């Protein structure tokens, strides 16, 4: 290893902050990595990624073999020079492609033979040559070749895949340690699908191989958020405290904040740029779909609370036009905006852990995103408007509903009631902290309106029921 070290700085319950030191610079954790699959982060110039403040990006071994190719990368000395990115790079091994390109590959104990999705040419990945390839790429942190199990998977298939990944991991570690010009660090990967005993076995045996850090792979493949967190709950505690914990391919803010709660340190995902290209902008108070006609004449910036000047200079109405017109500039603006949101999000997470206020940060995060979602749903369907009022003496909340012809006051169910100080300046929303409470309120309002205004909402009944299921 050359210059690699991980320092654990602060821990709040299971959430933690740390510092990864590499030969190309330091990375503060928890950290999110933009994905530069083929040596480029889609729709995002590399100088903007630098300006935003990202400290490490992810690239992919398999895709770099195909394009630009190892000869081109070697001609530029390494991928960092080729991209003009002078900070750390983590490279995935190609294990995810073992799953995602299943129709184009054959697996055996030696490795994987791929048929290129570009020109049909044949390429073999083995635990050994993947290490050598990542050394050529100039990875600061490289991942071992593994078999990423699809979901759902039978127990037998998951066990077989897990055992093969362990065999490959041992071979990859030996090759790495024998390498003369090796990367800064090499991480092992825990597999086992959603089976607890397989995950635990995989974690323990991967630790025995003694890697520089550990990743939890094979998640975000269809198992759902709750199952993902369940897997982390019994897997992460086994991983060494003194080494980096990486959750591969996970990137929705809700996933990240819960994974941090379980002790995860680094993340990667294409979501910020992929959803940006499709018109979805991440903001502190929720996600905006700029395709919606409601933004056609909106003069406000994407996020009024953002200090990111690159996206603030453009109005929502203009970006709406770009997205609807399939102008690449629209996707570029939102992608850059989303990456800035993610960077600030991780900064805020780290700060809250260091200040022992992570629980409060989580509550505020869900409150802002869910209250925004709630009000936007009601507004978008144009069924009714609402306000929340309280009884100053009891601290109890009630819901006032306004339709075209009626005004109804609905008591919030006892299960959703939260007392709060009846002091000046305290927001009435402060008691509404969880998505469960918001959904409970929505369900109550829907039922009340169905009872009191049947004729008025008859045509919208299906839409109401859809909202309740979201």
Catalytic positions, please? 92, 268
ω into 30 cis (within 30 of 0): yes
**Distance from C-alpha of 291 to C-alpha of 301, rounded to nearest angstrom:** 15
Phi, psi of 264 (to 5 degrees): -80, 145
Task: Kindly tell me the number of DSSP H helices and DSSP E strands found in the chain.
Answer: 18, 19
**Distance from C-alpha of 297 to C-alpha of 313, rounded to nearest angstrom:** 15
Burial of 304 (0-12, 13-18, 19+ CB in 10 A): exposed
**Distance from C-alpha of 147 to C-alpha of 191, rounded to nearest angstrom:** 8
The tokens describing 178, both together, are: 């024998």
User: How many alpha carbons fall within 13 Å on the CB side of residue 274?
Assistant: 10
User: How many alpha carbons fall within 13 Å on the CB side of residue 470?
Assistant: 16
Decide: 341 and 283 in contact? Cβ < 8 Å: yes
């Amino acid at each position: 290893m050359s210059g690699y070290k991980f320092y654990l700085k602060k821990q709040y319950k299971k959430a933690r902050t740390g510092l990864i030191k590499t030969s190309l610079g330091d990375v503060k954790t928890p950290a999110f990595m933009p994905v530069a699959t083929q040596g480029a982060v889609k729709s995002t110039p590399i100088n903007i990624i630098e300006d935003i403040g990202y400290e490490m990006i992810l690239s992919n071994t398999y895709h770099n073999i195909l394009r630009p190719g190892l000869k081109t990368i070697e001609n530029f000395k390494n991928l960092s020079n080729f991209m003009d990115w002078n900070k750390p790079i983590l490279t995935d091994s190609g294990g995810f492609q073992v799953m995602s390109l299943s129709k184009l590959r054959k697996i055996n104990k030696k490795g994987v033979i791929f048929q290129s999705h570009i020109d049909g040419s044949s390429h073999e990945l083995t635990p050994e040559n993947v290490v050598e390839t990542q050394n050529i790429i100039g990875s600061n942190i490289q991942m071992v070749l593994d078999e990423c199990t699809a979901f759902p998977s039978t127990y037998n298939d998951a066990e077989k895949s897990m055992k093969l990944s362990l065999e490959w991991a041992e071979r990859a570690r030996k090759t790495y340690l024998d390498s003369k010009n090796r990367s800064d660090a090499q991480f092992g990967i825990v597999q086992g699908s959603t089976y607890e005993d397989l995950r635990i076995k995989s974690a323990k045996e991967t630790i025995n191989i003694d890697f520089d850090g550990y990743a939890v792979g094979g998640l975000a493949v269809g198992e759902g958020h709750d199952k993902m967190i369940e897997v982390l709950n019994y897997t992460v505690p086994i991983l060494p405290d003194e080494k980096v914990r990486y959750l591969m391919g996970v990137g929705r803010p809700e996933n990240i904040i819960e994974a941090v709660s379980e002790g995860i340190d680094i993340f990667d995902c294409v979501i910020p740029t992929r959803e940006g290209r499709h018109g979805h902008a991440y903001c502190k108070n929720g996600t905006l779909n700029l395709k919606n006609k409601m933004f056609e004449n909106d003069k406000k910036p994407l996020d009024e609370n953002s200090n990111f000047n690159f996206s603030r200079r453009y109005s929502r109405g203009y970006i709406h036009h770009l997205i609807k017109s399939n102008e690449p500039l629209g996707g570029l603006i939102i992608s850059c905006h989303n990456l800035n949101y993610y960077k600030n999000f991780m900064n805020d997470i780290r700060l809250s852990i260091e200040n022992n206020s992570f629980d409060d940060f989580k509550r505020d995060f869900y409150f802002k995103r869910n209250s925004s979602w709630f009000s936007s749903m009601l507004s978008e369907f144009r069924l009714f408007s609402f306000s929340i009022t309280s009884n100053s003496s009891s601290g109890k909340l009630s819901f006032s509903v306004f339709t075209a012809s009626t005004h109804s006051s609905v008591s919030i169910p006892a299960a959703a009631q939260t007392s709060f100080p009846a002091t000046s300046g305290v927001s009435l929303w402060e008691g509404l902290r969880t998505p469960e409470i918001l959904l409970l309120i929505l369900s109550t309002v829907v039922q009340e309106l169905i009872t009191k205004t049947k004729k008025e909402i008859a045509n919208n009944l299906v839409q109401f029921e859809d909202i309740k299921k979201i």
